[in-house]
């Protein structure tokens, strides 16, 4: 998506799906209001036609066309309220606009005389396409530029067409009006589109900033996994799913053994490398549906949906085996072997919240540490 707006893209380019979708609901509401209002106005003209034509066959033809247009308009207003497809909405509104154009022009040109009121109505119609009916810029111009040449043709042939209310004195004024309405409509519509596009970019930037802040608020900077806050939020979601649907899950607390000793002996950068290496192995061995997070300096959590404690123990054993064969090589050619202790448990019906599961896993972790560390215990 281009981060700017220009009139060529607005008129001749394809519509930006994200931009149009952001305003689709508002555009549909505005279009429906105009469509319903125009439908009732067109239907009301049946009486005006009757006063002008009486029982002329043309009156019955116009009455049928106006009634059909009214029915289609009411149906379209309900249809647009349900659609989520931008292209369907755009083309549907364009088709309705063109139907209104042809009905209006047919009603004006089929009579023996054309009044200044008919021409003035077409002026308003042109302006409405630009300013009142939301659509792509090109789709606004098509109906407006269809009406305008017909108006000019009527004005040029006002004598033979028996145009009432037009004189040589105001003929030039009407020509100027046609051109001015199109220029004002196009420029105003483009200006509105530019302002709205900039508003869309501002909103998108704000949303992206908020999302980035949210990610930073729940992400551990050292490892890139969830921090305690983010992990516990995910754990609460998983617990709610378990209570609602009965889909069990396992929870593991993993403690990196003797991190303080590593920090004191080799320095905190080595301790950080040990943490990062443990997380890399966990991410490598866990499933894509499992969630991991850093609960404290040396403690990590692992959520495994739809997994029994026995299956969890298999996952933890794989992690343990990989870690056993892993050493951190230091610049002084010394090596540091890292290991972990873990407590495993499963959600059960007696749990009232995730805190109950957490406490049970924590007790298992304490048992693993009490047995000399580098152990995995199950509650």
The alpha carbon dihedral of 202, 204, 207, 213 has a sign of negative
204 and 263 together in one domain:
no
Statement to judge: residues 50 and 155 lie in one domain: yes
Helix (H, G, I), strand (E, B) or coil at 252: strand
Same domain, 247 and 287: yes
Instruction: Mark whether 16 and 144 lie in a shared domain.
Output: yes
Residue 235 lies in a domain: yes
329-374 pLDDT tens trace: 887 778 888 899 999 999 999 999 999 999 999 999 999 999 999 9
Asked whether residue 158 is domain-assigned, the answer is yes
Task: Kindly report, residue by residue over 13-35, the tens digit of the pLDDT.
Answer: 566 778 888 888 999 999 999 99
Same domain for 335 and 247, yes or no, is yes
Inter-residue contact 291 to 303 (CB < 8 Å): yes
Answer yes or no: do 184 and 251 share one domain: no
279 and 341 part of one domain: yes
Of 152, 181, 209, which residue sits at a domain end? 209
> Residue 5's pLDDT is what?
56
Q: Is residue 191 part of a domain?
A: yes
Provide long-range contacts, Cβ within 8 A and 24+ apart, for 221-227: 222/272, 222/275, 222/276, 222/294, 223/275, 223/276, 223/279, 223/294, 224/279, 225/279, 225/283, 225/292, 225/293, 225/294, 225/300, 226/291, 226/292, 226/293, 226/294, 227/293, 227/294
Domain membership of residue 217 (yes or no) is no
Residues 238, 153 share a domain: no
- Looking up residue 329, the CATH number of its domain turns out to be 3.30.70.270
User: Cβ neighbours of residue 353 under 8 Å, at least 6 residues apart?
Assistant: 236, 239
pTM score, two decimals?
Answer: 0.61
Residue 159 belongs to a domain: yes
Q: Which residues contact 220 (CB under 8 A, 6 or more apart)?
A: 226, 227, 293, 294
**17 and 45 both lie in a single domain:** yes
Residue 271 forms part of a structural domain: yes
pLDDT tens by residue, 52-103: 888 899 999 999 999 999 999 999 999 999 988 988 999 999 999 999 999 9
Is 218 inside any structural domain?
A: no
Query: Are 52 and 111 in contact, with CB atoms under 8 Å apart?
Result: yes
> Is 80 inside a domain boundary?
yes
Same domain, 109 and 248: no
Q: pLDDT tens for residues 250-309?
A: 999 999 999 999 999 889 999 999 999 999 999 999 988 999 999 998 999 999 999 998
Distances (CA, A) of 19 to 15, 100, 203, 249: 8, 28, 11, 41
Q: Is the pLDDT of residue 161 over 80?
A: no
Domain that holds residue 311: 228-378
Distance CA 181, CA 44 (A): 26
**Of 174, 209, 244, which one is at a domain's C-terminal end?**
209
Q: What's the number of domains the chain is made of?
A: 2
If asked whether residues 162 and 204 sit together in one domain, one would say yes
| 189 in the same domain as 245 | no
């Amino acid at each position: 998506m281009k981060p700017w707006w220009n009139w060529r893209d607005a008129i001749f380019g394809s519509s930006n799906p994200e931009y149009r979708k952001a305003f689709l609901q508002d555009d549909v509401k505005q279009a429906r209001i105009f469509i319903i209002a125009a439908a009732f106005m067109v239907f009301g003209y049946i009486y005006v036609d009757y006063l002008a034509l009486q029982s002329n066959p043309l009156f019955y033809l116009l009455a049928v066309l106006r009634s059909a247009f009214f029915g289609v308009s009411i149906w379209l207003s309900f249809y647009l309220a349900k659609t989520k497809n931008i292209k369907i909405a755009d083309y549907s509104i364009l088709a309705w606009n063109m139907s209104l154009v042809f009905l209006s022009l047919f009603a004006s040109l089929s009579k023996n005389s054309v009044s200044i009121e008919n021409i003035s109505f077409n002026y308003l119609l042109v302006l409405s396409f630009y300013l009142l009916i939301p659509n792509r810029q090109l789709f606004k111009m098509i109906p407006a530029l269809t009406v305008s040449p017909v108006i000019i043709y009527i004005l040029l042939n006002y004598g033979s067409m028996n145009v009432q209310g037009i004189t040589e004195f105001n003929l030039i004024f009407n020509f100027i009006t046609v051109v001015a309405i199109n220029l004002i409509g196009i420029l105003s519509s483009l200006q509105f589109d530019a302002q709205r596009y900039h508003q869309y970019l501002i909103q998108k930037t704000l949303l992206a900033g908020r999302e980035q802040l949210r990610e930073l608020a729940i992400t551990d900077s050292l490892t890139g996994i969830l921090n305690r806050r983010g992990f516990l939020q995910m754990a609460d979601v998983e617990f709610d799913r378990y209570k609602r649907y009965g889909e069990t899950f396992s929870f593991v607390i993993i403690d990196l053994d003797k991190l303080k000793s590593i920090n004191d002996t080799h320095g905190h950068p080595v301790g950080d490398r040990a943490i990062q290496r443990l997380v890399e192995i966990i991410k490598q061995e866990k499933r894509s549906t499992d969630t991991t997070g850093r609960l404290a300096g040396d403690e990590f959590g692992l959520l495994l949906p739809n997994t029994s404690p026995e299956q969890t123990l298999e996952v933890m054993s794989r992690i343990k085996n990989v870690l056993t064969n892993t050493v951190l090589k230091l610049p002084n050619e010394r090596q540091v072997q890292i290991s972990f202790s873990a407590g495993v448990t499963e959600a059960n019906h007696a749990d009232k919240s995730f805190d109950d599961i957490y406490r049970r896993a924590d007790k298992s972790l304490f048992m693993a540490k009490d047995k000399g560390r580098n152990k995995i215990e199950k509650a």
